[in-house]
Chain A
Amino acid sequence: AQKVTQAQTEISVVEKEDVTLDCVYETRDTTYYLFWYKQPPSGELVFLIRRNSFDEQNEISGRYSWNFQKSTSSFNFTITASQVVDSAVYFCALRGSGGSYIPTFGRGTSLIVHP
Chain B
Amino acid sequence: GAGVSQSPSNKVTEKGKDVELRCDPISGHTALYWYRQSLGQGLEFLIYFQGNSAPDKSGLPSDRFSAERTGGSVSTLTIQRTQQEDSAVYLCASSLTGYNQPQHFGDGTRLSIL
Residues in chain A within 8 A of chain B (CB atoms): 31-33, 35, 37, 42-47, 50, 52, 91, 95-97, 100-103, 105-108
Contacts and interface: CB of A to CB of B under 8 A. Distances in A.
A44 B106 contact: yes
Most chain B CB within 10 A, of A42, A45, A106, is at: A45
Nearest to B4: A44
Contacts of A101: 31, 48, 50, 97, 99
B29 interface: no
Contact of B48 (A44, A97, A102, A105): A102
Contacts of B107: 42-44
- Interface residue tally of chain B, by bracket? 20 to 34
Contacts of A105: 42-43
B20 interface: no
Contacts of A108: 42-43
A37 B50 CA distance: 22
A42 B43 CA distance: 16
